[in-house]
Amino acid sequence: MSKRVNIYKEIGGEKTMKQLIQCLYTRIGNNETLLPIFPDNLQESARKQYLFLTQFLGGPPLYSQEIGPPMLPYRHAPFEITPERRDAWLHCIHRALLDVGVEDPYFSEIIRRLTIPAYRIMNTPDS
């Protein structure tokens, strides 16, 4: 895929991103593997994920403007990110992308791009 393609715009921009975050956090809220590392109220986590994914996929730099550079390993250091949790999150985003109708080539490219930081933030082995 060309680096000039703006995935954020191509998949529907803000409207699709909001739907994606809603679907993702519904899945996270029902995932017993992920719930222990999330707060009881997922609203703030979902908001930050919206900021991040918007920027990550080529939309406005909302995350950097509000929070600063993503620095994902640093920001996830307080949480036990195991390979099992990495895979559970990737499964949730995979399903959420399908839920909102993101198709190839964008679906595959988003998964490819998100897999890299998902591996980089792991900081704890499975028990």
What does the pLDDT read at residue 126? Answer: 87
pLDDT in tens, 64-123: 999 999 999 999 999 999 999 999 999 999 999 999 999 999 999 999 999 999 999 999
Residues 6+ apart with CB under 8 A from 11: 17, 57, 102, 106, 110
pTM of the model: 0.94
Q: How confident is the model at residue 2 (pLDDT cuts 50, 70, 90)?
A: low
Domains of the chain, first to last: 9-120 (1.10.490.10)
Check pLDDT > 80 for residue 1.
no
Q: Place 127 in a pLDDT band, splitting at 50, 70 and 90.
A: confident
Judge residue 92's burial from the number of C-beta atoms within 10 Å of its C-beta, 0-12 exposed, 13-18 middle, 19 or more buried. Answer: buried
Looking at residue 5, what is its pLDDT?
A: 85
Pairwise CA distance, residues 34 & 29, whole Å? 8
- How confident is the model at residue 3, as a pLDDT? 65
pLDDT in tens, 20-41: 999 999 999 999 999 999 999 9
pLDDT at residue 75, as a whole number: 94
pLDDT > 90: percent of the chain: 94
What is the Cα–Cα distance from 15 to 120, expressed in whole angstroms?
Answer: 29
Q: Is the peptide bond before 105 cis (omega within 30 degrees of 0)?
A: yes
